[in-house]
Chains A and B, each alone.
Chain A
């Protein structure tokens, strides 16, 4: 029983991690909280669903939807954040403009697809299950876990070992110094948004597959949990977000077994609140961030 809950927690944590990485990456690079991240998460799930419905094979639909999410992120930056950057509007105004962008994206998708829940077309998902002793694992869960881990490893490689990754880290560290060293800020920021939103979109698609349900308010359910995760991991820390996500995934599934499901969601926010007050830099945050 406990083993099964742990396995479920890991599957949940992997998707949480994909979502939270995008959140924390944008915060690390720009110091802004992008509340439209959850809207892109939802948008990508709908695009994958729509493509799968038109007969495109599932892997191709997923790839196309991930690319769509990345491009939507770049557009989001151009429209809602770049003008404010030029005006030096601080960190709170972009937070509000991201809410505006989120409302627009949500509105467009509600208009296109309606307010109801949708399921992937029959036959698109493998329903096979594996039994390992007492443990039951769906083939789909394994595919989701592998995809999530693969994307995370890919990101880790990009951030550590490529010129782009070096630029992103430099801009996150000190934007002015990075610009002085000749790094193209706008290009680096645009690529950061592409990566962050593509990962957020991938999370949306995978969650949509996992529950076989896609709806316009699916973003609202993960948006604030994502916040809790990046606070737990340390705002701006990618590794922290991954660790935070797996902790939350495990704690949530185990909490259902031990304390019942009613206060499950309160755990994330309770931890987040206490951490912000006691240790705002989170598990792995390096900077003292009280006065950001």
Chain B
């Protein structure tokens, strides 16, 4: 057992981080908005946390707090201009924001540019990652029982009706974006400290696609589903190594299979049986 963990500790850490990212996006998806800025929030926090740790000697907790705070602040500012966008247009605008963030990371004088930023203290172990995941899970669980979760669901199902019963739709969207950014920020700092080396390319559109795929496969409205989806998406590429260069095909096929035949994702399969 212990040997299993020792052999696969890197993969286990990766699952935890990807699960955090999927949870972060599922918040926005639950409010019905396809805001695809998670990878950008993640990258921003990763750079803030890493630069702080290397330049000012922050410990992991300080770096995580600073990174999450920075991501939250940027999300709050981003929420203003994109507040009125919906659907595909929101998706495109946030993808654009992500690209601007990535290009800024390449060109800013303190990030190490496209070659990456290294020597980040390697102090985010499995315990820290899973502590963050459990804490996020508990917070989301508590939130799921609250009135705000209903406001979120109402906003997703019918925005005008939600407005009609007195839900402040703009505030709901702002809060989910900021909360999602905090979770993505935590994941970003943990990612940086677990890998001790980051490049702007780690936080580009492919990363965003990976997060989205995890969420959709898991089932967009379920926390457990998001975690399971992220787990599947992290383990799958390792499990199909025998396919060599054809490996990616399995990811795409599973995504397409779920969308066409089980639109509720893993969580949907399980709820249908229950």
Contacts and interface: CB of A to CB of B under 8 A. Distances in A.
A182 to B, nearest CB: 29
B247 A107 contact: yes
Interface string A256-292: 0000001101100110110011001000000001111
A228 interface: yes
A84 B259 CA distance: 9
B212 A89 contact: no
Contact of A104 (B100, B107, B209, B253): B253
A100 B259 contact: yes
Contacts of B249: 103-104, 107-108, 111
Contacts, number: 140
B112 interface: no
Interface in B70-126: 81-82, 84-89, 91-93, 95-97, 99-100, 103-104, 106-107
B228 interface: no
B270 interface: no
B69 to A, nearest CB: 23
Contacts of A107: 245-252
Interface string B242-274: 011111111111011001100100000000000
Nearest to A291: B86
A227 B255 contact: no
Tell me whether chain B's interface is mostly helix, strand or loop, or mixed. Answer: helix
B206 interface: yes
Contacts of B213: 96, 99-100, 103
A225 to B, nearest CB: 9
Interface string B206-228: 10010011001000000000000
Contacts of A91: 87-88
A270 to B, nearest CB: 6
A93 interface: yes
A175 interface: no
A243 interface: no
Given A92-B87, A111-B245, A290-B85, A33 B92 contact: yes
Nearest to A266: B103
Secondary structure of the A side of the interface? helix
A207 interface: no
Contacts of B91: 33, 92, 95
Contact of B205 (A32, A89, A111, A224): A224
Interface string B18-61: 00000000000000001000000000000000000000000000
A150 interface: no
Interface string A6-32: 000000000000000000000000011
Number of chain B interface residues as a range: 35 or more
Contacts of A105: 252
Contacts of B212: 96, 99
Interface string A93-127: 10111011111111110110011000000000000
Q: How large is the interface on A (under 10, 10 to 19, 20 to 34, 35 or more residues)?
A: 35 or more
Contacts of B103: 263, 265-266, 269
Interface in A213-250: 220, 223-224, 227-228, 231
A110 B96 contact: no
Contacts of B82: 276-277
A111 B91 CA distance: 30
A83 interface: yes
A106 B87 contact: no
B85 A101 contact: no
B206 A220 contact: yes
A91 B88 CA distance: 7
Contact of B244 (A106, A111, A276, A280): A111
B84 A103 contact: no
Given A92-B91, A277-B81, A103 B251 contact: yes
Nearest to B107: A262
Nearest to A83: B260
Contacts of B89: 276, 280, 289-290, 292
Given A231-B92, A273-B97, A276-B96, A92 B34 contact: yes
Given A89-B263, A224-B95, A265-B103, A100 B255 contact: yes
A110 B246 contact: yes
The 6 nearest A-B residue pairs measured at CB:
A103-B252, A107-B248, A111-B246, A104-B252, A107-B249, A100-B255
Given A100-B255, A228-B96, A266-B99, 4 more contacts: A92-B87, A273-B93, A273-B100, A276-B96
Interface of B: 34, 81-82, 84-89, 91-93, 95-97, 99-100, 103-104, 106-107, 205-206, 209, 212-213, 216, 243-253, 255-256, 259-260, 263
Interface of A: 31-33, 79-80, 83-84, 89, 91-93, 95-97, 99-108, 110-111, 114-115, 220, 223-224, 227-228, 231, 262-263, 265-266, 269-270, 272-273, 276-277, 280, 289-292
19 contacts: A84-B260, A91-B87, A92-B91, A96-B212, A96-B213, A96-B255, A103-B248, A104-B249, A104-B256, A224-B96, A228-B96, A263-B107, A265-B103, A269-B99, A269-B100, A272-B93, A273-B93, A273-B97, A291-B86
